[in-house]
């Protein structure tokens, strides 16, 4: 990449640290910002600064919040009998979009991946177990992780720990997505679909 003025070079380097953003995409982002009006760029800058200035972590569920408790943990209408454990804060919004779950959440902070240094002591596992020990009315723990190697490993590890506390542990159902063709379904997905079949 040819040499640019320091402000451009520094911002390209900053954008390049984001997942999925290489040097060319980062450069495209920087030049897109340079085409914006000064007020739009200042708004962008203020929004970035607010991420570290105005956000904290909810003391109960470990998601990002503007106050000590996030809106979901603070909402008295949410049931306290179910706790949905997710890998990342963004997973909460995905589940909330379904409108099918009305309990509370807990963010583990990732999935087990020893190769990349994500071991049990790095995740919020101690805090999760402490919460399960103190909240007696919590009957069901839903493990909502991606069905990949790391997600499956994490769910297996957590389920063993949670069962020792005599709590019901469930996971998200797996099966064929709407509009899928049987012809292209893999054996594991098809097998899960058969096991989780419902009466019609």
Confidence of residue 185 (pLDDT cuts 50, 70, 90): confident
Nearest 5 degrees, angle CA 29-CA 46-CA 70? 110
Measured distance CA(190)–CA(18) in Å, rounded: 36
- Report the pLDDT value the prediction gives residue 175, as an integer from 0 to 100: 78
What would the pLDDT profile of 5-40 be if each residue is shown by its tens digit?
999 999 999 999 999 999 999 999 999 999 999 999
Contact 143, 169 (CB under 8 A): yes
Q: If residue 17 lies in a helix (H) or strand (E), which one and from where to where?
A: none
What would the pLDDT profile of 161-171 be if each residue is shown by its tens digit?
999 998 999 99
- Report the pLDDT value the prediction gives residue 190, as an integer from 0 to 100: 76
- Report the pLDDT value the prediction gives residue 199, as an integer from 0 to 100: 66
**Fold agreement between 6-54 and 78-171:** no
The SS3 assignment for 65 reads: strand
> What proportion of the chain, given as a percentage, has pLDDT over 70?
96
What would the pLDDT profile of 60-96 be if each residue is shown by its tens digit?
999 999 999 999 999 999 999 999 999 999 999 999 9
Report residue 71: phi and psi, to 5°. Answer: -60, -40
**Res 153 pLDDT > 90:** yes
Measured distance CA(83)–CA(102) in Å, rounded: 10
Tell me the pTM. Answer: 0.84
Residue identified by tokens 């979901």 is 72
Residue identified by tokens 């997505």 is 177
CATH topology of domain 78-171: Dna Topoisomerase Vi A Subunit; Chain: A, domain 2 (3.40.1360)
Domain definitions of the chain by residue range: 6-54, 78-171
Residue identified by tokens 């040097």 is 23
- What's the CATH superfamily of 6-54? RecR Domain 1 (1.10.8.420)
Sign of dihedral through CA atoms 149, 127, 123, 161? negative
């Amino acid at each position: 990449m040819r040499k640019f003025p320091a402000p451009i070079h520094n911002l390209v380097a900053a954008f390049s640290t984001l997942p999925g953003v290489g040097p060319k995409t980062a450069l495209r982002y920087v030049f897109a910002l340079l085409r914006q009006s000064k007020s739009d760029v200042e708004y962008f800058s203020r929004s970035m600064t607010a991420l570290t200035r105005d956000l904290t972590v909810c003391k109960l569920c470990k998601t990002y919040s503007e106050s000590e408790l996030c809106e979901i943990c603070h909402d008295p209408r949410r049931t306290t009998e179910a706790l949905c454990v997710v890998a990342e804060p963004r997973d909460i919004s995905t589940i909330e979009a379904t409108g099918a779950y009305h309990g509370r959440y807990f963010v583990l902070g990732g999935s087990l991946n020893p190769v990349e240094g994500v071991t049990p002591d790095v995740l919020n596992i101690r805090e999760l177990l402490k919460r399960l020990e103190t909240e007696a009315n919590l009957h069901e723990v839903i493990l909502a992780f991606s069905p990949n190697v790391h997600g499956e490993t994490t769910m297996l590890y957590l389920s063993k720990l949670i069962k020792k506390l005599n709590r019901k542990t469930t996971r998200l159902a797996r099966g064929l997505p709407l509009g899928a063709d049987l012809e292209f379904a893999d054996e594991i997905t098809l097998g899960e679909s058969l096991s989780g079949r419902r009466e019609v």
